[in-house]
Amino acid sequence: MGYDIAIDGPAGAGKSTIAKMIAEKKGMIYVDTGAMYRAMALYMIRKGVDIDDPDRIAEACQDAEITINHEDGVQCVFLNGENVNDLIRTEEVSKAASKTSVVPELRKKLVSLQQELGLMKDVVMDGRDIGTKVLPNAELKIYLTASARVRARRRYGEFLSKGESANLAEIEKEIKERDHRDMTRAESPLVQAEDAILVDTSEMTIEQVVDKILSLIDAKL
């Protein structure tokens, strides 16, 4: 009997890093749902759709087919047959995805794709509404978070290590704005599921978080 793990939390809490490591250690499949929302946002940008117009987005998303496959354990996202993995990590797409993902019609399409993937079992899926909406019966649910200040500092460090300049205060402001949008939208807002276990990573290293979740898996399953 397989099991699914749902990991939800705000942007920058370390969900994808942690989920990927857990999947590898446990021989499970990692599903990054944010990448699907990002691919949809990329479609809207390319089509010149006003990302502040929910009606246009609801209409336009009907023509965007998102699919995923896994190569050597790495998830690839396809937008109408094109691998867009390398095009969806820009600031422009991040911002657009946070806006376009409020549209119920767009979410409906992606949630059904995610639920199909969850049926395979042995999936570690991360996002905002996995434990509450996509996989409400997941065997283990984690709500991974960290303070906005810590998340901003991590992001800032990433920019610097790539040799790019960045403004810490600006990054923290954007993180708070994104949290606000994700947590207050009408459709599937980011919220901790009642049966999810809270893991605050503000004072933890990546290794400590992975060990903590591995021990939760052992205890629960």
Q: What is the DSSP string of 168-182?
A: HHHHHHHHHHHHHHH
**Count of residues near ligand DC by CB under 6 A:** 13
Does residue 151 touch ligand DC according to CB under 6 A? no
Smallest gap from Cβ 219 to ligand DC, in A, equals 26
Please, which residue, 56 or 99, has the CB nearer to ligand DC? 99
For ligand DC, the closer of residues 128 and 155 by Cβ is: 128
Residues 6 or more apart whose Cβ sits within 8 Å of residue 66: 36, 39, 40, 77, 78, 79, 109, 110, 113
Least distance to ligand DC, CB of residue 135, Å = 11
Closer residue to ligand DC (CB): 33 or 85: 33
Beta carbons within 10 angstroms of residue 51's beta carbon? 18
Closer to ligand DC by CB, 173 or 215: give it.
173
CB of 1 to ligand DC, least distance (A): 25
Q: Does 182 bind ligand DC (CB under 6 A)?
A: yes
Q: What are phi and psi of 149, to 5 degrees?
A: -65, -45
CA atoms within 13 A on the CB side of 66: 32
- Rounded Cα distance, 179 and 177, in Å: 5
Residue 11, interface with ligand DC (CB under 6 A)? yes
Per-residue contact string for residues 37-56; x = within reach of ligand DC by CB under 6 A:
xx------------------
- Characterize the bridge pairing of strands 74-79 and 82-83: antiparallel
Q: Which is closer to ligand DC, CB of 33 or CB of 145? A: 33
Joined together, the tokens standing for residue 42 give 């990329």
Q: Which one of residues 178, 196, 201, 209 is an interface residue with ligand DC (CB under 6 A)?
A: 178
Nearest to 171 by CA among 109, 72, 94, 56: 94
Residue among 6, 51, 77, 129 that touches ligand DC (CB under 6 A): 129
Residue 98 binds ligand DC (CB under 6 A) = yes
